[in-house]
Amino acid sequence: MAAQQQLPSPFGHDPTAPPWSVIEAEDPEPVRDLEDVVGVRRRFHNTSMPDAPGLVLTVTETLPEPGPGPREAAYARLLRLLSTLKLYYRLFSLSGDVLPAGIDFVERDLGIDRPGDEIVRPSFDGVLDVEQDVERFTILTLELEDDPPRDGDRAQAVGFTIDPAIGLNQLHGYVAKCTKSAWASVRATAGSVRLRMTKNGKTVGVVTDKAGGGPSGTVGASTPTKATFDVCVRGLEAGSFYTISGAWIRGKGGGCP
């Protein structure tokens, strides 16, 4: 009997064993000149792809109250998070506009219920109405240091895996990608977590994973125009750890408004 052909990873790498060692990271640095927000930024580069652009990860939190005390505490917390997590990323090509196999992509026209619904929404629009009683909301933004592709360029996706810690009722939000398609999965390595993907502010997929359980599945959505795709991970137990893998097809002609 012929061996079954394994489908290529929808993230461009094996999310269960990414080659962390090929990623070089610069020292974290504070994000300055933000009144009610504290942030830390770090640049990563994949040394196995010397011509690939770097990837910048910025983590931010809105201060619950002003003052040097809360700012210093938030900065120390974000610096610890960014200094201890591992990150892997790579760019990979897709065949034309064909989406990766093995994902139950939401229909392309989902969420366009009335005129204007196709308008790109602000990042995390309404997510706290769904994920209620959140004690801390940390935003993680991934930015590729490269110009958007031009018309006629081959479709290219960015895939990543990150392994942060998260506490009970804490929410990690992975910021909007202004693009036509995005997908993500999560695996709890300790405790349990829930992943929610939204497209233009509407939920398109939810998966929950508990450490020691089976695969949680991958959620994805696509649109014929453009949308903001946000992914949130919520800690369902104290002291949880997880790995999130995600990917998006690079959009043409600029970013989100």
Condensed to tens digits (0 to 9), the pLDDT of residues 7-49 reads 578 899 999 999 999 999 999 999 876 778 999 999 999 999 9
User: Cα–chain-centroid distance for residue 212?
Assistant: 23
pLDDT at 2: 44
Angle made by CA atoms 49, 90, 122, in degrees to the nearest 5: 135
Q: Is 107 helix (H, G, I), strand (E, B) or coil?
A: coil
What is the total count of domains within the chain? Answer: 1
CATH of the domain at 177: 2.60.120.380
User: Does any domain span residue 3?
Assistant: no
The more confidently predicted of residues 105 and 198 is: 198
Model confidence over 193-221: pLDDT tens digits?
999 998 888 888 999 999 987 767 888 88
pLDDT at 115 over 50: no
Q: Do the Cβ atoms of 214 and 144 come closer than 8 Å?
A: no
User: Does any domain span residue 213?
Assistant: yes
* Most confident of the following: 75-84, 105-114, 248-257: 75-84
Model confidence over 143-189: pLDDT tens digits?
888 876 666 667 788 999 999 999 999 999 998 676 778 899 999 99
Q: Do the Cβ atoms of 253 and 152 come closer than 8 Å?
A: no
Q: Do the Cβ atoms of 209 and 218 come closer than 8 Å?
A: no
pLDDT at 213: 79
**Across the chain, what does the average pLDDT equal?**
84
Domain carrying residue 182: 20-249
User: Does any domain span residue 12?
Assistant: no
**DSSP assigned state of 44:** E
